[in-house]
């Protein structure tokens, strides 16, 4: 937790932005893995509840009464049976005092709070729920059916929270730096363990263990695979093979749930082949190009398409692409190789505030998403950058056999792609390099005092020496 003044200040700012009504921020409940008393571990609190109330216990709800300037923590104290099994915790009243709330009430009081607000025709603001138990709770409290809850959620509240959480406070940046330290340990562990004969599952499990032993948990399910062309390839029991590439996309959460998110691609044999180096050097150049152009006032969509143009130019040199680069990028031909966006917001969630919808987080009235064009429709972040934003920089080049076959069969972008040459890369896999960028007053910098090796010679040297 941060100090209580942090949460009081944040709630006061939120009141000013939303202006009137009652805000209800639902904390998470325990989520059973395979039966009621066997919950997923560790417990993960809702991020917006954490941002404004800072408390990790399950079964809590934060109420911010804007009109009466009252902050209320709602929840039931645990009973003696829970204490026997799980140990004592602070009372709800004490927890309310810890975060500067005005009062605490038992959970049954939440219905009264909502009924009173509804009778007075005061607006009740809530966020789009993503857990079904909370959907049922909203239905019980407000009578809004789960299928209508997303569209009935408060846009005033969503916009206010996006505005506040997008710009990271200095203490949040310190937490992100701590997450980066854990991320460094995770990825260098993967590099040390990657060698022929080891299973993907073993490396992935060791990487996960680092996150759990130094922080709270992984910030998303670890990706470790020789099939780097699969965006979210989970570790399998496949044995690592000499001559192939292994892609590791992994991150950690600190005990305060701030995230890291990095990707490295390494040669299983410890040395890149010439063909692997040719593709890797393009991704490396694109990764570094983003660092040179991202700064306050620049649209991240423009950074993305600048990277796409650089990538396409370099792929033309290898004979994989052809034609006018600007026309090719406008037509979406680059998505054959890069079918996702350059990056996303990051903070307390690895895809920060994703539950509030990326159209609200990564875009605004000035910058709208293109939902029609393949690849471009996966751009999560397009809006103008501001000092204090944290975004990922994650270009990649992937050779996806099914996509090659599909575009070749339909003739899609045939004037920009050399399908005969692409056929020879179907066994290549994919390469991604990812780091986290903090937007500064005049540019940007990587988060993390120790940068995970990514230049080819550095990767090879680290794998040889460790």
Per-residue model confidence as pLDDT tens digits over 357-380: 999 999 999 999 999 999 999 999
pLDDT, one tens digit per residue, over 152-177 is: 999 999 999 999 999 999 999 999 99
Q: State whether 307 and 354 are in the same domain.
A: yes
Task: Please give the average per-residue pLDDT across 29-50, as a whole number.
Answer: 91
Q: State whether 196 and 298 are in the same domain.
A: yes
pLDDT of 86 reads 79
**CATH number, domain containing residue 49:** 3.40.350.10
Band the pLDDT of 398: cuts 50, 70, 90: very high
pLDDT at 429 over 80: yes
Band the pLDDT of 141: cuts 50, 70, 90: very high
pLDDT of 390 reads 98
Tell me what percent of the residues of the chain surpass a pLDDT of 70.
100
Work out the mean pLDDT of the chain and round it to a whole number: 96
Q: State whether 81 and 189 are in the same domain.
A: no
Please give the full DSSP string across 377-443, using - where no structure is assigned.
GG----SBP-TT-EEEE--EEE--HHHHHHHHHHTTTTTTB-HHHHHTTTT--EEE-BEEEEE-SSS
∠ CA(343), CA(347), CA(349), 5° rounding?
Answer: 90
Distance CA 190, CA 183 (A): 11
pLDDT of 287 reads 98
CA atoms within 13 A on the CB side of 421: 13
pLDDT of 37 reads 79
As for how many domains the chain has, the answer is 2
DSSP element (H, E) containing 188: helix 170-193
Task: Please give the average per-residue pLDDT across 430-448, as a whole number.
Answer: 97
| Pairing status of strand 124-125 against strand 22-26 | parallel
pLDDT of 235 reads 96
Distance CA 198, CA 195 (A): 6
Residue ending a domain, choose from 150, 166, 182? 166
**CATH number, domain containing residue 293:** 3.90.230.10
Q: State whether 156 and 174 are in the same domain.
A: no
pLDDT, one tens digit per residue, over 13-28 is: 999 999 999 999 999 9
Q: State whether 254 and 324 are in the same domain.
A: yes
Residue ending a domain, choose from 133, 166, 199? 166
Give the pTM. Answer: 0.95
Band the pLDDT of 88: cuts 50, 70, 90: confident
Quickly list H helices, 19-56.
47-53
SS3 category, 265: strand
Band the pLDDT of 407: cuts 50, 70, 90: very high
Tell me what percent of the residues of the chain surpass a pLDDT of 90.
95
Band the pLDDT of 84: cuts 50, 70, 90: confident
Task: Please give the average per-residue pLDDT across 335-354, as a whole number.
Answer: 97
Task: Please give the average per-residue pLDDT across 63-90, as a whole number.
Answer: 91
pLDDT at 83 over 90: no
Task: Please give the average per-residue pLDDT across 282-308, as a whole number.
Answer: 98
Domain ranges, residue 55 = 4-166
Q: State whether 251 and 297 are in the same domain.
A: yes
Distance CA 336, CA 317 (A): 16
Band the pLDDT of 97: cuts 50, 70, 90: very high
Residue ending a domain, choose from 116, 147, 166? 166
Q: State whether 52 and 181 are in the same domain.
A: no
pLDDT of 9 reads 98
pLDDT, one tens digit per residue, over 203-230 is: 999 999 999 999 999 999 999 999 999 9
pLDDT of 181 reads 98
Band the pLDDT of 151: cuts 50, 70, 90: very high
pLDDT at 85 over 80: no
Q: State whether 190 and 328 are in the same domain.
A: yes
CB 67 within 8 A of CB 124: no
Task: Please give the average per-residue pLDDT across 72-81, as a whole number.
Answer: 92
Q: State whether 412 and 447 are in the same domain.
A: yes
CB 211 within 8 A of CB 249: no
Q: State whether 202 and 302 are in the same domain.
A: yes
pLDDT at 115 over 80: yes
Band the pLDDT of 48: cuts 50, 70, 90: very high
Q: State whether 417 and 440 are in the same domain.
A: yes
Q: State whether 193 and 155 are in the same domain.
A: no
Among 37-51, 52-66, 210-224, 305-319, the range scoring the smallest mean pLDDT is 37-51
Band the pLDDT of 297: cuts 50, 70, 90: very high
């Amino acid at each position: 937790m941060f100090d209580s003044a942090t949460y009081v200040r944040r709630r006061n700012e939120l009141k000013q932005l939303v202006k009137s009504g009652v805000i209800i921020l639902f904390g998470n409940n325990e989520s059973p893995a395979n039966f009621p008393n066997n919950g997923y571990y560790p417990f993960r609190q809702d991020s917006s509840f954490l941002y404004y109330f800072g408390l990790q216990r399950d079964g809590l709800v934060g109420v911010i009464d804007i009109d009466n300037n009252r902050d209320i923590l709602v929840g039931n104290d645990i009973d003696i049976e829970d204490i026997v099994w799980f140990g004592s915790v602070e009372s709800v009243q004490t927890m309310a005092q810890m975060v500067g709330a005005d009062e605490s009430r038992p959970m049954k009081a939440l219905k009264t709070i909502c009924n009173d607000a509804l009778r007075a025709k005061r607006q009740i603001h809530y966020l789009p729920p993503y857990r079904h138990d909370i959907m049922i709770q909203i239905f019980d409290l407000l009578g809004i059916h789960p299928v209508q809850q997303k569209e009935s959620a408060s846009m005033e509240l969503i916009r206010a929270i996006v505005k506040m959480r997008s710009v990271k406070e200095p203490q949040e940046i310190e937490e992100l730096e701590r997450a980066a330290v854990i991320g460094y340990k995770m990825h260098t562990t993967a590099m040390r363990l990657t060698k022929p004969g080891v299973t993907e599952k073993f490396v992935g499990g060791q990487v996960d263990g680092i996150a759990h032993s130094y922080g709270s948990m992984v910030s998303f399910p670890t990706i470790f695979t020789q099939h780097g062309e699969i965006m979210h390839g989970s570790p399998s029991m496949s044995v690592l093979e000499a001559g192939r590439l292994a892609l590791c996309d992994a991150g950690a959460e600190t005990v305060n749930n701030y995230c890291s998110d990095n990707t490295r691609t390494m040669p299983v044999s410890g040395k890149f082949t010439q063909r692997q180096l040719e593709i890797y050097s393009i991704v490396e150049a694109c990764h570094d190009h983003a660092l040179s152009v991202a700064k306050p006032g620049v649209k991240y969509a423009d950074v993305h398409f600048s990277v796409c143009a650089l990538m396409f130019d370099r792929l033309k040199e290898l004979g994989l692409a052809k034609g006018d680069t600007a026309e090719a990028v406008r037509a979406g031909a680059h998505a054959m190789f890069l079918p996702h966006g350059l990056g996303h917001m990051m903070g307390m969630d690895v895809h920060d505030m994703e539950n509030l919808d990326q159209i609200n987080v990564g875009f605004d009235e000035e910058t709208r998403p293109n939902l029609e064009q393949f690849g471009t429709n996966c751009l999560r972040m397009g809006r103008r950058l501001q000092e204090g934003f944290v975004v990922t920089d994650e270009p990649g080049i992937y050779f996806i056999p099914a996509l090659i076959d599909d575009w070749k069969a339909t003739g899609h972008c045939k004037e920009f792609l050399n399908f005969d040459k692409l056929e020879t890369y179907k066994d290549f896999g994919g390469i991604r390099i990812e780091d986290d960028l903090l937007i500064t007053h005049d540019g940007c910098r990587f988060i993390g005092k120790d940068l995970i090796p990514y230049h080819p010679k550095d990767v090879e040297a680290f794998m040889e020496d460790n």
